[in-house]
Amino acid sequence: MRNLKNLHFENRKDYFLIKINRPKNLNALNQKTIEELILLFDFITKNSVGKYGIVITGEGDKSFVAGADIKEFVELDGKSSLKFCRNGHDLFNKIEKMHIPVIALVNGYALGGGCELSLACHIRVATLNAKFSQPEINLGLIPGYGGTQRLTQIVGKSKALEMMLTAEMISAEDALDYKLINNVVDDIDSGIKKVEEYISTFKRKGPNAIKNVIKSVNNYFDKDVDGFEEEIKLFIECVKTSDFKEGIQAFIEKRCPDFKGE
């Protein structure tokens, strides 16, 4: 993907690395960045052979994403905010539904829309200087990119309400305690090491099973879907793959499976 103004995109061995690249604005998510992310995730969806995950982080050592770009909201009205909401929801739903795992490597502020971006990812690794908050209430708003739903799903009603009603910033260690994140690491270098460990683990699994675990877990939160019934269908889908046969054969032969995604 070329011509990305606000994103740094790297095609690394086994995974894609995306950096939100507006360090002068603490990587605040303006509409242009959201549009670029939508295009990029569409591109990745069609070009992910040989990739086992996507890592999103922020440029610089201070901020993952310090929120939606507040400077764009000066003239916000009902009509424009609907468009903003839809764009953000489209992007974050896309991320949540990706067929390969998406990991947020939170390296500093994850505020408002930044916290919401991390919540849409499947795994969250945070550096010790990370700070999480949903401070929209300070602007007379509520989270507008799915945060009221995903934060509640992830940390439960009490903590979600506390975070959204107080706007307090919480440390990486508190976020771990709340189960908002999966791991805390010292700094960005250990963060990259940690996410690469995840990627190499995912590489050893069957891609169809990975995809169907993500789908099935997402179904739990979809009120229009019977997650149990869907699980049966997704299970049977896995049973029909060559990878399943390979998994069983490898177990019997006491060797590592060689999954091909078929």
Burial of 177 (0-12, 13-18, 19+ CB in 10 A): middle
Site for ligand DAK in 151-170 (CB under 6 A): none
CB 15 within 8 A of CB 53: yes
Marked catalytic residue, from 36, 59, 96, 136 = 136
- Min separation Cβ 14 and ligand DAK, Å: 32
- Min separation Cβ 160 and ligand DAK, Å: 16
* Contacts with ligand DAK, 74-113, as mask; x by CB under 6 A: --x----x--xx--x--------------------x-xxx
Site for ligand DAK in 192-231 (CB under 6 A): none
Which tokens in the block code for residue 254?
A: 């006491």
How do strand 123-127 and strand 183-185 relate by DSSP bridges? parallel
Residue 243 in the binding site for ligand DAK (CB under 6 A): no
- The residue at minimum Cβ distance from ligand DAK is 112
What DSSP line would sit under 197-232, residue for residue? HHHHHHHTS-HHHHHHHHHHHHHHT-TTS-HHHHHH
| Contacts (Cβ under 8 Å, ≥6 apart) of 27 | 20, 21, 58, 59, 60, 63, 64, 65, 66, 114
- Min separation Cβ 115 and ligand DAK, Å: 8
Marked catalytic residue, from 72, 96, 116, 168 = 116
- Which C-beta is closer to ligand DAK: that of 143 or that of 257? 143
- Min separation Cβ 73 and ligand DAK, Å: 6
Q: List 185's β-bridge partners, or say none.
A: 127
Site for ligand DAK in 122-141 (CB under 6 A): 135-136, 139, 141
The number of residues that bind ligand DAK (CB under 6 A) is 24
Residue 58 in the binding site for ligand DAK (CB under 6 A): no
Distances (CA, A) of 145 to 178, 228, 231: 21, 28, 27
* Contacts with ligand DAK, 28-47, as mask; x by CB under 6 A: x-------------------
What is the H or E stretch that residue 194 is in? Answer: helix 188-203
- Our answer to whether residue 173 is catalytic in this structure is no
Identify the three-state secondary structure at position 123: strand
Q: Which of 18, 37, 54, 66 binds ligand DAK (CB under 6 A)?
A: 66
Residue 59 in the binding site for ligand DAK (CB under 6 A): no
d(C-alpha 148, C-alpha 125), whole Å: 21
* Residue position matching structure tokens 């947020």: 104
- Our answer to whether residue 116 is catalytic in this structure is yes
CB 72 within 8 A of CB 112: no
Any idea which residues carry the catalytic annotation?
Answer: 116, 136
Task: Kindly list the residues in this chain that would bind ligand DAK in the complex (CB under 6 A).
Answer: 25-26, 28, 66-71, 76, 81, 84-85, 88, 109, 111-113, 135-136, 139, 141, 144-145
